[in-house]
Amino acid sequence: MKNIAVILSGSGVFDGSEIYESVLTFLRLEHNGVRYQCFAPNVEQLHVINHLTGEVAEGETRNVLVEAARLARGNVKDLAEANPDEFDAMIIPGGFGAAKNLSDFAIKGHECSINPDLERFARAIHQAGKPVGLICIAPAMTPKLLGTGIECTIGNDAGVAEAITAMGGQHTDCSVDQIVIDETSKVITTPAYMLAGSITEAASGINRLVDEVVKRA
């Protein structure tokens, strides 16, 4: 049975993994009859956002791995312990945690760096010729995460697309229900909530992405 690694960045759209995108990914993986294992880095979040007000919760700290456990119903492991040889593919759901906790793209833009445990794992998956799926804002990490020249999408946000290009990536505009596939690199991306106005719209692209990742695994 195919085994897919899902990398989480916390829990909650504004400071962790986007919950709908994550759950849609889990659901579609199960529909495809494959196994998956969630991982998250054991690090402190950049900050905690009050999702009711959208403001930073001053003085509050949370751990990315502990928060991801909420989303994964406790079944999540430390990314530092992930063995790429045990997996056939990797998917990273979106949410600002990808740009705040898995990387510092939210702060440094095209000069960002990637969490070292994620970089180690993702590079090994990629260099072994295994497919990688990136959702929502997560594709912004592509050039630093996997290498330059890879075609990807975050939808049609000009500022983020410009940053991807500045890092050596190749951005292609894409509608919410579609995916962009870099055939050579086996990298599949979709905009999801970069464009989605509803969970149904988000699912339309995520389902295609998961199906494509599983097919190529």
Q: Which residues are catalytic?
A: 136
Q: Which residues contact 91 (CB under 8 A, 6 or more apart)?
A: 4, 5, 6, 7, 25, 29, 132, 133, 134, 135, 209, 210, 213
Query: Which residue is associated with the tokens 């999540």?
Result: 76
Query: Which residue is associated with the tokens 């690199």?
Result: 185
For residue 107, the number of C-alpha atoms closer than 13 Å in the C-beta half-sphere is 11
User: Do 5 and 37 contact (CB within 8 A), yes or no?
Assistant: yes
Q: Which two tokens mark 159?
A: 């500022």
Helix ranges (H only) for 50-115 are 64-71, 97-100, 105-108
Query: Which residue is associated with the tokens 């890092």?
Result: 167
Residue 83, CA distances (Å) to 87, 201, 202 in order: 8, 33, 30
